[in-house]
Amino acid sequence: MALLDVEDLSVTFQRRGQRTVHAVDGVSFSVDAGEVVALVGESGCGKSVTSLALMGLLPRRGAKVGGSANFDGTDLLAQDQRSMRDIRGRDVAMIFQDPLSSLNPVIPVGIQVTEVLVRHRGMSGDAARKEAAELLDRVGIPDPRRRLKEYPHQLSGGMRQRALIAIAVACRPRLLIADEPTTALDVTIQAQILELLKELVRDSNTALIMITHDLGVVAGMCDTINVLYAGRVVESAQRRELFAAPRHPYTVGLLRSIPRLDAGRGEKLTPIPGSVRDVLPWVEGCAFAPRCNRRIDACVGAPPAMVPTHTGHSYRCVNPVPVEEKQ
Amino acid sequence: MTLASGQKKEKLDRLGELAAVRDDEQGVSLWRDAFRRLRRNPAAIVGAIILALFVLVAIVGPFLVPYDPAAPIGVQDGVVRSGQGIIPGPSSDHWLGYDHQGRDEFSRLIAGSRQTLIVGVVSTLIGLTVGVLLGGLSGAAAGLGGRWGRWVDNILMRIVDMLLSVPGLLLAVSFAAILGPSPITVMIAVGAVSVPIFARLLRGSMIAQSNRDYVLAATSLGVRRWKIAISHVIPNSLAPVIVQATLTLATAIIEVAALSFLGLGTQVLGQPEWGLMLAEAQQYLGIRPALAIYPAVAIIITAFGFTLLGEAMREALDPKLRK
C-alpha cells in the first residue's frame, strides 16, 4: 500500500447567494515513499486547493472537503484541527510558492527554523540553534550561523527558498508537498532548487507531491504525473510514458505550448485557446471540450470516465490522441 | 519617552549585532530601515528636537527654576494686587512676569512641563496597554480563532464600539466625574479615550496580517495558534499602533490640559499644570492676556512636536512608500 492514498478528493466552495464552485472534483492518486508525484495543470485547475485540502488548511467556513486521504493509516481529511496540528510539520510539510511572503519579515530566519524544532521535536535553545544551523547547511546555505541571525529580506530569492525547504524538512516529514516551489525564482536558481529537492527525497526516502504548471520541472524529476483539468485528473502516467505518448488532447496541448530548443525555425508554438470554466465544468460532458480541437459529438452529454491501459497509463477522453500522431 | 526608549533599543540591537557579526554592514531590519528614513526627514528632526527639549525641560527644569513655582512672591512683595487689576508683566527678575497669585510665571511654566509630560505619557501608556490587550485578543480571535473566535471578537468589539461612540472629552469627563478629580483620574480618563482607537487599529492590522502567506506557512508547520498570534502576527501588526501612540501623545496632552481647564485635574495646592494655568488665566484675560498665551503656546508647541514626529513615523513605516 502506498504511503498516501488520495481517494475521490473533492472540494467545493459555497458562499451564500453565489453559485457553488467545484474546485476539486473527485481527484484520486497515490504516492509512495521516495516517489515524486506531480500534479500539473494551468491556473484554476485545482492543484493548489488539492494541496491545501490535504494539509487541512482550507478555511473551515465555505469550503467542503469530501473523499479520503489515507496517510499511513490515518485519514488526513477526517482529523480534527488539534491532531492535524500535530501532523502538520512533523509528518507532512509544505513548501510554498513565494518564499519572501512565506517567511515572517520581522523575525530572523533562525527563529523561524527553530520554531518548528521546538514545536515538534521538543528541542530547546542551543540544541535547536545547532540543529537549525545544520539544516541550513544541509540545504546548501553557506555560513549558516550568520544567516540564522539575518532577516528574510537580507537573503536572496534562492536562499530564501532554501531556508523554507530547511524549515519544511526540519522534522524529517514522510511526505512533502511542494506547491510551485520554483515559480518565483530565476531559471538558474530553479534548477538548483529542484536538484536540492531531488537530493532530499533520495536521501531520506521522503514522498514528494510536486505541484506545478511547468512541464519542464516535471520532466526533470517526477516519477508519476497527474495532469489536472478543471478539478479532475485527465491523464495519469509514468513520466516516460506521458512524454512519449500523451493521449489526452489537453496534455498534448500543454506539451505543444512549451518552447523547445530542438524545434525547427519555422515551427510555431501552439497555445490552447480559451481558459478554464469554473462552474460545474464536468456536468455537461468533458470540461475541455469547448477548447479541444478533437471534439466529437460524444464529448458532450455525459462526462467521460478514466480509461485505463495495461501500462498503468490512464486518460479521461473519448477521442484520445492516437499514439502515432505525437510528433 | 517612546522615542528615547526606541533609540536605546535601537542602539542595543545594533551593539548586539555588531558583537555577533562584525562584517554585517547591511543589517537593516524593518525598524532600522524606518529609522534611517526618519533621519532624512526634516519634519521628523524638528519634531524630535522639540520633544527632546520638552523632555529635558520636564526632567531637569523643576530643579533649575529661579523661584519656587508655588510661592506667592509677588503678593508678599506687594507688587501683585490682582484684585485691583495689577499683575506686572515681564521684567529682568521675572522673565514672564507674575501670575494672579503673585507667583513667578516662568517658573510655573517650566515646572508645569513635568506634570504635563507625566500625565500625557502615562495616560497614553494606559490607553496603549488596555487597547493592545483588547485589540490583540480580538484580532487573534477574529483572525485565527474559528467560530468561537468570531464570538469573542464580536463581543469585545461591541464594547470598544460603545467606547468609541461617546465623544472623547465627554468620556473623559464622565470618567473624571466617577473617579473624582485627581491626576490619576485624568490619566485614566484620557487613557480610556484612546483605548478604542488602539484596539481597533491593532485588530484591523492583525486581521490583515492573518491572511498573509507566512501565517499559512506557520500553520502548515503545525505551530499552535496562540504562538502564531504572539510571535508572528502581533510583531507584524504593531507599526501602525506605535505611530498612533506618538500621535495620541499629542492629543493626550491637549486633553489633559482640557480636563485641568475644566477643573477635573490637578488639585494639589499650587502645583503648576499648563491646563490649570490656562483656566486660571481666563479670569484675568482683560488685564494680562499673556498669562493665557504662555501655557497655550507651550501646549501647542509640545503637541506640534509629537504630531510632527508621529506623522514622520507614519511615513517612514508606511509599506506603500517602502521600496
Could you give the count of Cα atoms lying within 13 Å of A259 in the half-sphere of its Cβ? 3
Rg (C-alpha) for chain A, rounded Å, is: 21
Task: Say yes or no to pLDDT of B254 above 80.
Answer: yes
Integer Cα distance of A127 and A135 in angstroms: 12
Average pLDDT, chain B: 81
A122-180 pLDDT tens trace = 888 889 999 999 999 988 888 999 999 888 888 888 899 999 999 999 999 999 999 98
Least confident of A215-224, B40-49, B263-272: B263-272
Does any CB of chain B come closer than 8 Å to the CB of residue A86? yes
Task: Answer whether A106 sits within 8 Å of B29, measured CB to CB.
Answer: yes
Rg (C-alpha) for chain B, rounded Å, is: 23
Domain containing residue A273: 230-327
Q: To probe the interface with B, which of A98, A102, A180 has the most B CB atoms within 10 Å?
A: A102
| Three cell numbers, residue A38 | 506531480
**Average pLDDT of span A29-44:** 90
Query: Is A307 part of any domain?
Result: yes
* Listed residue (A268, A240, A243, A238) closest to A255, CA to CA: A243
Give the type of residue at B114.
R
Task: Say yes or no to pLDDT of A215 above 90.
Answer: no
Note the pLDDT of residue A278.
57
A200-210 pLDDT tens trace = 888 889 999 99
Does any CB of chain B come closer than 8 Å to the CB of residue A31? no
Does any CB of chain B come closer than 8 Å to the CB of residue A151? yes
DSSP per residue over B127-171, as a string? HHHHHHHHHHHHHHHHHHSHHHHHHHHHHHHHHHHHHHHS-HHHH
Task: Say yes or no to pLDDT of B122 above 50.
Answer: yes
Residues B29-46, buried b or exposed e (16+ Cβ, 10 A)? bbbebbbebbeebeebee
Integer Cα distance of A119 and B45 in angstroms: 44
Give, in order, the Cα–Cα distances in Å from B267 to each of B100, B136, B236, B304: 17, 36, 42, 27
Cβ atoms within 10 Å of B121's Cβ, excluding its own: 19
| Between B22 and B144, residue with greater pLDDT | B144
A221-262 pLDDT tens trace = 899 999 998 888 999 999 989 988 899 999 988 888 877 767
The secondary element (H helix, E strand) that includes residue A31 is strand A21-31
Task: Say yes or no to pLDDT of B25 above 70.
Answer: no
Under the banding of pLDDT at 50, 70 and 90, the label for residue B1 is very low
Task: Say yes or no to pLDDT of A197 above 60.
Answer: yes
**Average pLDDT of span A305-309:** 88
ipTM of the assembly?
0.82
Task: Answer whether B236 sits within 8 Å of A167, measured CB to CB.
Answer: no
Task: Say yes or no to pLDDT of B256 above 70.
Answer: yes
Task: Say yes or no to pLDDT of B247 above 80.
Answer: yes
Task: Say yes or no to pLDDT of A37 above 50.
Answer: yes
Note the pLDDT of residue B14.
52
Under the banding of pLDDT at 50, 70 and 90, the label for residue A264 is low
The phi, psi pair for A213, rounded to 5°, reads -105, 0
Does any CB of chain B come closer than 8 Å to the CB of residue A88? yes
Closest Cβ opposite residue B224 in set A85, A90, A154: A85
Note the pLDDT of residue B269.
58
**Average pLDDT of span A65-88:** 90
Task: Answer whether A116 sits within 8 Å of B221, measured CB to CB.
Answer: yes
* Dihedral class, residue A66 (left if φ above 0, else alpha if ψ from -120 to 50, else beta): beta
Integer Cα distance of B116 and B253 in angstroms: 6
Task: Say yes or no to pLDDT of B21 above 60.
Answer: no
Under the banding of pLDDT at 50, 70 and 90, the label for residue A277 is low
Q: Which fold has domain B52-75+91-291?
A: MetI-like fold (1.10.3720)
The phi, psi pair for A112, rounded to 5°, reads -70, -30
Integer Cα distance of A320 and A301 in angstroms: 17
CA torsion B94-B95-B97-B102 (nearest 10°) is -40
Specify the pairing of strand A175-179 against strand A92-95: parallel
Number of structural domains found in chain A: 1
Q: The whole model's pTM is what? A: 0.77
Q: Are B132 and B200 in contact (CB under 8 A)?
A: no
Integer Cα distance of A69 and A63 in angstroms: 17
Query: Is A260 part of any domain?
Result: yes
Note the pLDDT of residue B20.
42
Note the pLDDT of residue B12.
53
Which residues in A lie closer than 8 A to residue B223 (C-beta atoms)? 85, 89, 115-116, 119
Note the pLDDT of residue B8.
54
Task: Answer whether A104 sits within 8 Å of B24, measured CB to CB.
Answer: no
Closest residue of chain A to B220, computed from CA coordinates:
A88
Q: Are A212 and A262 in contact (CB under 8 A)?
A: no
Note the pLDDT of residue A157.
85
Closest Cβ opposite residue B220 in set A81, A93, A103: A93
Note the pLDDT of residue B273.
82
Task: Answer whether A103 sits within 8 Å of B232, measured CB to CB.
Answer: no
Under the banding of pLDDT at 50, 70 and 90, the label for residue A276 is low
What residues have CB less than 8 Å from B104, skipping those under 6 apart?
B65, B66, B67, B68, B69, B71, B73, B74, B94, B96, B98
Note the pLDDT of residue A53.
92
Under the banding of pLDDT at 50, 70 and 90, the label for residue B19 is very low
Closest Cβ opposite residue A167 in set B24, B221, B236: B221
Task: Answer whether B221 sits within 8 Å of A151, measured CB to CB.
Answer: no
Task: Say yes or no to pLDDT of B110 above 80.
Answer: yes
Does any CB of chain B come closer than 8 Å to the CB of residue A154? yes
Closest Cβ opposite residue B221 in set A88, A106, A153: A88
Does any CB of chain B come closer than 8 Å to the CB of residue A116? yes
Q: To probe the interface with A, which of B22, B214, B238 has the most A CB atoms within 10 Å?
A: B214
Note the pLDDT of residue B268.
61
Note the pLDDT of residue B11.
55
Least confident of A72-76, B226-230, B276-280: B276-280
B199-216 pLDDT tens trace = 999 999 998 888 888 998
Note the pLDDT of residue B320.
59
Give the type of residue at B134.
L
**Average pLDDT of span B296-305:** 91
Per DSSP, B86 falls in state B
Share of chain B above pLDDT 70, in %: 86
